[in-house]
Amino acid sequence: MSLPDRTVVMLISTRSITASSLPDSPYVLLVDDEEASSRPLVELVRYAGFACMAAQSTNEALACCYRRRPEVVVTDLVMPGPDGRALARRLGKRFPDVPILLVTGQNLEHPDWAIPDDLFEAVFAKPLDFDEFIGVLGRLMAPSRRQAMFRG
């Protein structure tokens, strides 16, 4: 699938940008349809020192990924349209080396929300343990940070 050069994505601030303005450095893509959940997480990721972009749907996330591959994707499970599992499956086929983290408030023991063991690198329940989340994210981003430091 090829996207037009001027694909537009919506960010959590609800302002439109062109996908070509994605960060030049390795970045985390956060996917959540609820701004109240995504805004603090974006700020946490940035405070930890990582570039972070946000998408409000699976389709916006895919547009970002096709324009510039993220180093890590963090997704919610339940969203309008394709959910976090569908996003993980699609990204897994196109970008098998991009780790995907799930952050959810759903009861994953319920059959409707079953998660295949190999679909996500890690699964975090809400409310989120920030230290654990940033620890995992830091481990996954570490190789990219080193590469960026040697390039710059």
Structure tokens at 134: 């940033």
pLDDT number for residue 89 = 95
In a domain, 152, yes or no: no
CATH of the domain at 44: 3.40.50.2300
Provide the residue range defining the domain that includes 53: 8-105+118-141
In a domain, 1, yes or no: no
In a domain, 51, yes or no: yes
Between the CA atoms of 42, 47, 150 and 70, what dihedral angle is there, to the nearest 10 degrees? Answer: -10
In a domain, 75, yes or no: yes
* 8 A C-beta contact, residue 105 and residue 60: no
Count of domains forming the chain: 1
Structure tokens at 7: 């694909």
pLDDT number for residue 4 = 33
Contacts of 76 (CB under 8 A, 6+ apart): 31, 32, 33, 34, 37, 38, 84, 102, 103, 104
In a domain, 111, yes or no: no
The residue ranges of the chain whose pLDDT is under 70 are 1-22, 108, 113-114, 143-152
In a domain, 129, yes or no: yes
In a domain, 67, yes or no: yes
- Over residues 76-117, the pLDDT tens digits come to 999 999 999 999 999 999 999 999 999 998 776 777 766 777
Amino acid, res. 83 = D
